[in-house]
Amino acid sequence: MESYAAGETEPALLEETIGANFERTVAAHPDREALVEVASGRRWTWSELDRDVDALAVGLARAGIRRGDRVGIWAPNCAEWTLTQYATAKIGAILVNINPAYRTHELAYALNQSGTKLLISATEFKTSDYRAMVDEVVDQTAVEQVLFLGSPEWADHNVHDPGTTLAEVLDYSLTDLSPDDPINIQYTSGTTGFPKGATLSHRNILNNGFFTTELINFTEQDRLCIPVPFYHCFGMVMGNLGCTTHGATMVIPAPGFDPEITLRTIAQERCTGVYGVPTMFIAMQNHPTFADHDLSTLRTGVMAGSICPVEVMKRCVEEMHMAEVSICYGMTETSPVSTQTRADDDLERRTATIGRVHPHVEIKVVDPVTGETVERGRTGEFCTRGYSVMLGYWDDEQQTREAIDEDGWMHTGDLAEMRDDGYCNIVGRIKDMVIRGGENVYPREIEEFLYTHPDIEDVQVIGVPDEKYGEELCAWIKMRTGTEPLDADAVRAYSNGKLAHYKIPRYVMVVEEFPMTVTGKVRKVEMREKSAAELGLA
């Protein structure tokens, strides 16, 4: 059987704009709680949130923002991020998500490449002085106005005037907006070269948020803790849009991820779901106060961003009460989710796979060289097609054509296998695959094995240069608290007889942290560079 699958077609796709969908939810649940910001203690019902979203939308319109104009947001997670997301969607402006970790060079690039007209920015976060960085680059960009959160100018754009409606300040009708209009530009965290601006429509992200949470049985009774960044699809699509399409409550635990604050928020706000990348769940589960927090209200959540270690998933189910927790797989360019485990899947499927095809989506696994669909059980490149595929990279037709073929298939660059039951697994990135002496080695398999060592908290495996074999394996290991560091001999002894000899890492580096992107993905390119330098390899 070929490695191809098509998703369910019921329920039907939402054929409406984000603003129209938001207003339907407000009408259905005006007095239910919509948004909670734990850090400030602020709370909104749906009708209050709608009022404040409209106030900001009116302010943006008065500032000259119109359909198709780009509005940048550069801030950590906060209520104002959410307000901006829905205010721009209501007037048809394109929200440009700017990574909070960016510095001046990257900020200037994103603003210029997207043609951002108005920038909404935090003033500071952690060690970042956003105001100073904006002042340094704004004159080099097309930005006409900057609104700093909490400033008098920001307040002026958020004055609620009950006598003014959006229709009165816009020179077009909101009914003119189309679900196929671009509404969001997200810069992918490229490992080489400049980031690319994935351009997404109302239809792309509204439906993906809806179906991701539909598959974990979301209703207006749910309360979702969102510690993942809004700047990325995980926070603003799977989180915010997942909630607003179902009338569920969005709970923002903190501006940035903190394991103890997240645990405390789940308990205090009686959250029924929580999102995170595997490293977040590892940090929560290994926090000294983990057992002190009442997590009994949890029933579900999503783990995504990278493959989840089996033991972490088991603890989510057994100790965090997340019996319906789901694994999702996707990428920014696909809005993001393409496959997901289902709430009633057995433990094996929820710990050993990335799920099966999403509703209204097609997937296939192809030979990276010939492009032919491979038989199930064979490794190839994961491709996906459907409503979720981006409109393209902003102002970059060449890279768009390289990613999306003539038949509409998005080529992900991920190596995958589709099982006989249609469930898939990612075995690595095409560029991460290690070729050692002619043998193809997939780091993911070795990482899963080493994770079973009782003293290892987390592990990443990469390829490093080798004169004899072309590449050799190097394992970066984070030790559990209170354990002795492992060396290459200890790892070899643990692996002998369990892994083929060519899969046993030659080098071991014990580290405190892995280099990460802001979205929680490990930067293996940086790890390879550091390993080669420290090990003295050419």
CATH number at residue 142: 3.40.50.980
* The residue type at 74: W
Let me know if residue 93 belongs to a domain. Answer: yes
| Residue that finishes a domain, picked among 178, 205, 231 | 178
> Among the listed ranges 52-56, 70-74, 462-466, which one has the minimum average pLDDT value?
462-466
Whether 21 is covered by a domain: the verdict is yes
Residue 463 structure tokens: 């390829």
Domain final position from 178, 193, 210: 178
User: Is residue 276 domain-resident?
Assistant: no
Model confidence band, residue 448 (pLDDT cutoffs 50, 70, 90): confident
pLDDT of residue 442: 80
Tokens of 18: 């984000």
Name residue 96's beta-bridge partners.
72, 185
Single out the residue in 135, 160, 178 at which a domain terminates: 178
Residue 159 inside a domain? The answer is yes
pLDDT category, 189, cuts 50, 70, 90? low
Q: Is the peptide bond before 454 cis (omega within 30 degrees of 0)?
A: no
pLDDT in tens, 347-384: 889 888 999 999 999 999 999 889 999 999 999 999 99
Q: pLDDT value at position 478?
A: 96
| Identity of the amino acid at 91 | I
Residue 268 resides in a domain: no
Whether 196 is covered by a domain: the verdict is no
Looking at residue 500, which CATH number applies to its domain? 3.30.300.30
The pLDDT assigned to 278 comes to 86
Please write the tens of the pLDDT for every residue from 374-414: 999 999 999 999 999 999 999 999 999 999 999 999 999 99
Looking at the predicted structure, is the pLDDT value of residue 514 above 90? yes
Q: Which residues of 191-207 are buried (b: 16+ CB within 10 A; e: fewer)?
A: eeeebbbbbbbbbbbbb
For residue 439, the model assigns a pLDDT of 79
Confidence of residue 190 (pLDDT cuts 50, 70, 90): low
Which pLDDT belongs to residue 193?
59
Q: Is 301 part of any domain?
A: no
pLDDT over threshold 50, residue 192: no
pLDDT of residue 240: 98
Domain assignment of residue 107, given as a range? 17-27+44-178
Q: Are strands 33-37 and 337-340 parallel, antiparallel or unpaired?
A: unpaired
Q: How far apart are CA 372 and CA 354, in angstroms?
A: 22
The tokens for 367 are 């030979």
Report whether pLDDT(459) > 50: yes
| Tokens encoding 459 | 């592990």
When pLDDT is cut at 50, 70 and 90, the band that residue 292 belongs to is very high
> pLDDT, tens digit, for every residue of 310-349?
788 889 999 999 999 999 999 999 999 999 999 999 888 9
In this prediction, residue 525 has a pLDDT band, given cuts at 50, 70 and 90, of confident
For 39-172, where are the alpha helices, taking DSSP H only? 46-62, 79-91, 104-114, 130-137, 152-156, 166-169
Alpha carbon distance 262, 385 (integer Å) = 35
With vertex at residue 235, the alpha carbon angle to CA 514 and CA 156, rounded to the nearest 5 degrees, is: 120
pLDDT at 536 over 80: yes
Q: What is the mean pLDDT of residues 140-157?
A: 94
Residue 199: is its pLDDT beyond 60?
A: yes
- Give the total number of structural domains in the chain: 2
Q: Please compute the mean of the pLDDT values over residues 194-219 and round it to a whole number.
A: 96
**What's the mean per-residue pLDDT of the chain?**
94
Q: Is residue 38 part of a domain?
A: no
**Phi, psi angle pair for 382, to nearest 5°:** -80, 130
How does residue 191 score in pLDDT terms, banded at 50, 70 and 90? very low
Give pLDDT, residue 352.
85
Count each helix (H run) and each strand (E run) in the chain, helices first.
18, 28
> What average pLDDT does the segment 188-205 reach?
82
Cβ pair 475, 446 in contact under 8 A: yes
What does the alpha-carbon distance between residue 10 and residue 480 come to, in Å, rounded to a whole number? 45
